[in-house]
Amino acid sequence: MDYLPLFYQLQGKHCLLIGGGAIALRKAGLLSKAGGLIHVVTHQIEPELDQLARQSGGSVRLGDYQLSDLEGKTLVIAATDDAQLNSQVSADAQRLTIPVNVVDNPALCSVILPAIIDRSPLVIAVSSGGQSPVLARLLRSKIESTIPSAYGRLAALVGKFRRRVQEKFTTVDARRDFWEETLQGPLAEMVFAGKDHVAEEMLETALDAEQIPAPAGEVYLVGAGPGDPDLLTFKALRLMQKADVVLYDRLVAAEIVDLTRKDAEKIYVGKARADHALPQQDINQLIITLAKQGKKVLRLKGGDPFIFGRGGEEIQELATHRIPFQVVPDITAASGCAAYAGIPLTHRDYAQSVRFITGHLKDGSIKLPWDELLHREQTLVFYMGLVGLPVICQQLIEHGRDPQTPIALIEKGTTREQQVIIGDLGNMPKKVQAHQVTAPTLLIVGDVVKLQSQLHWFDPAKESG
Ligand code: SAH
């Protein structure tokens, strides 16, 4: 280890910044966030920096750097493009043992500034020891995306209760067990979901209890998107890696299930059209039983759990049993398929509204308010419409929609196997018969489908060939 990472208390301390350009301004931003008083010495200064320095309680002096500028300073940053001046400042500061940073010149630094993930009071610093700031920044973005922005509020909550926990649990081990247990349970998730007051009540209850609380179960009803794993949300991925048990159905691609925790128990619960691997009632019951055993249960659903996903039914019972749960939305098949196929669902010239409809057959027929589906400027999206496709087309025409209304069938949308078939209400049933179409498929009806030929995926290889 070439450097010892430390966190520097700068509140109310005097810092010297030499230089007045954009880089100096960036450094001043950091110093000001940490509460430092910024004194700038430079020949020319950006107005924004001038203002920041004065607001921080520091000063600005236009002129040459002098040794006396170092007096009483806690930290020195040189951000000039004058190599000789930078060396001078570095040598002076190091002689006086004042920590000094020279921007982009590790050799002249006694301290270096890391890339920062700020979830104050929680702060993560990443450093490449001056070898590759770009790499440190790339790593920072990775960490940024996996740490919920609410971690800061969680840390603050812990800070608030720290003393009381110390009083109640007198040994270090007991305190650690308490915090590990509470912070990995529903409490943290409550904070991430913005329900800080509930989290606080949970902490109160846990503190009132005679002993460390038993691990509490909770349920995450998570949308897995339409197929492409890149369409998962950060939140989905985080909960996928936290859950002890995963219940997934047929629509969730294997490569997405693979992103769940390696040692999690994985249960397939169906369901293809006719093959109900587990009846809905049994799924609901299984979720409750697992949660009551103290498990973190992930219910992974294709697309968005609240769009034709029975998400509502599954969580209704959780609420009755007072099991903590949360619902994580994702991209629904309509948005995913439309975007990947190049069909905007609305367009100022063609469609002012869009309607999501289930085309699922009950007793061989589809009962839909056909009269409401005739408006030319309304895009219709049918989920579960493959089997009912001939009936859908026929009914729309019979009720008065133009047989030449364009329609697209998107098969396995957003995945590498995506296929798009374009036709019109009149000829689509025949066209589909001629293809080997497999589920899942989505139907989009309306003039927006015409745009597909212009907006479909741009493939440079094909275009040049
Ligand atoms: N909750 C899901 C929908 C579940 S209903 C969502 O929000 O997307 C199941 C239907 O969704 C399928 O019959 C099909 O019509 C549609 N569907 C889901 N994924 C799809 C995909 N990748 N491509 C095409 N259609 C899809």
Q: What are phi and psi of 244, to 5 degrees?
A: -85, -30
**Cα–Cα distances in Å, from 346 out to 80, 104, 397, 448?**
52, 49, 22, 7
Kindly report which listed range (18-22, 335-339, 428-432, 455-459) carries the lowest average pLDDT score. Answer: 455-459
* pLDDT reported for residue 276: 57
Q: Which residues are catalytic?
A: 249, 271
Mean pLDDT (whole number) for 233-239? 91
Please state, in angstroms and rounded to a whole number, the distance separating the CA atoms of residues 74 and 58.
13
CATH class, 334-455 region: alpha beta
**Residue whose CA lies nearest to ligand 1 atom number 6:** 303
Residue 263 Cα to ligand 1 middle (Å): 28
Please state, in angstroms and rounded to a whole number, the distance separating the CA atoms of residues 111 and 121.
22
* pLDDT reported for residue 464: 45
pLDDT in tens, 150-202: 889 999 999 999 999 999 888 888 888 888 878 877 888 889 888 999 899 98
Query: What residues does ligand 1 touch, defined as CB less than 6 Å away?
Result: 226-227, 251, 301-304, 307-309, 332-333, 337, 383-384, 410, 412-414, 439-442
228 close to 415: Cβ distance less than 8 angstroms = yes
Would you identify the CATH topology of the domain 150-208?
Helicase, Ruva Protein; domain 3 (1.10.8)
Kindly report which listed range (195-204, 355-364, 424-433, 450-459) carries the lowest average pLDDT score. Answer: 450-459
* pLDDT reported for residue 395: 95
* pLDDT reported for residue 145: 80
* pLDDT reported for residue 369: 94
First to last CA, the chain: 53
CA dihedral 339, 344, 345, 346 (to 10 degrees): 150
pLDDT in tens, 415-445: 999 999 999 999 999 999 999 899 999 999 9
Mean pLDDT (whole number) for 65-93? 97
Q: Residue 265 belongs to what H/E stretch?
A: strand 265-268
Residue 272 has pLDDT above 70, yes or no: no
Phi-psi region of 209 (alpha: psi -120 to 50; beta: other; left: phi over 0): beta
- CATH 3.30.950.10 positions along the chain are 334-455
Q: What share of the chain is helix, strand, coil (3-state, %, to 5)?
A: 40, 20, 40
**Residue whose CA lies nearest to ligand 1 atom number 11:** 383
Query: What would the two tokens of residue 279 be?
Result: 């009846």
Per the prediction, the chain carries an average pLDDT of: 91
Please state, in angstroms and rounded to a whole number, the distance separating the CA atoms of residues 56 and 12.
9
What count of residues does the chain have?
465
Q: What are phi and psi of 300, to 5 degrees?
A: -100, 125
Mean pLDDT (whole number) for 24-36? 96
Q: Does domain 14-113 have CATH number 2.60.40.10?
A: no
Name residues whose C-beta falls within 8 Å of residue 74's C-beta, 6 or more positions apart in sequence.
Answer: 10, 13, 14, 15, 36, 98, 99
Name residues whose C-beta falls within 8 Å of residue 200's C-beta, 6 or more positions apart in sequence.
Answer: 157
Mean pLDDT (whole number) for 305-314? 89
**Residue whose CA lies nearest to ligand 1 atom number 9:** 384
**Residue whose CA lies nearest to ligand 1 atom number 18:** 333
Out of 221, 222, 251, 380, mutate this one to test ligand 1's pocket (max ligand atoms within 8 Å of CB): namely 251
Residue 197 Cα to ligand 1 middle (Å): 37
Residue 318 has pLDDT above 60, yes or no: yes
Kindly report which listed range (23-32, 103-112, 136-145, 296-305) carries the lowest average pLDDT score. Answer: 136-145
Candidates 10, 3, 44; CA nearest to 24 is: 44
Axis-axis angle for helices 172-183, 151-168 (nearest 10): 140
CATH class, 218-331 region: alpha beta
Q: What are phi and psi of 23, to 5 degrees?
A: -70, -40
Q: What pairing do the DSSP bridges indicate for beta strands 75-78 and 100-102? A: parallel
Q: What pairing do the DSSP bridges indicate for beta strands 218-223 and 122-126? A: unpaired
- CATH 3.40.1010.10 positions along the chain are 218-331
pTM for the complete prediction?
0.73
Candidates 40, 33, 41; CA nearest to 10 is: 33
Cis amide bond preceding 440, omega within 30: yes
Residue 134 Cα to ligand 1 middle (Å): 40
Ligand 1 atom closest to 413 (CA)? 23
216 close to 324: Cβ distance less than 8 angstroms = yes
Question: How far, rounded to the nearest angstrom, does the alpha carbon of residue 395 sit from its chain's CA centroid?
Answer: 41
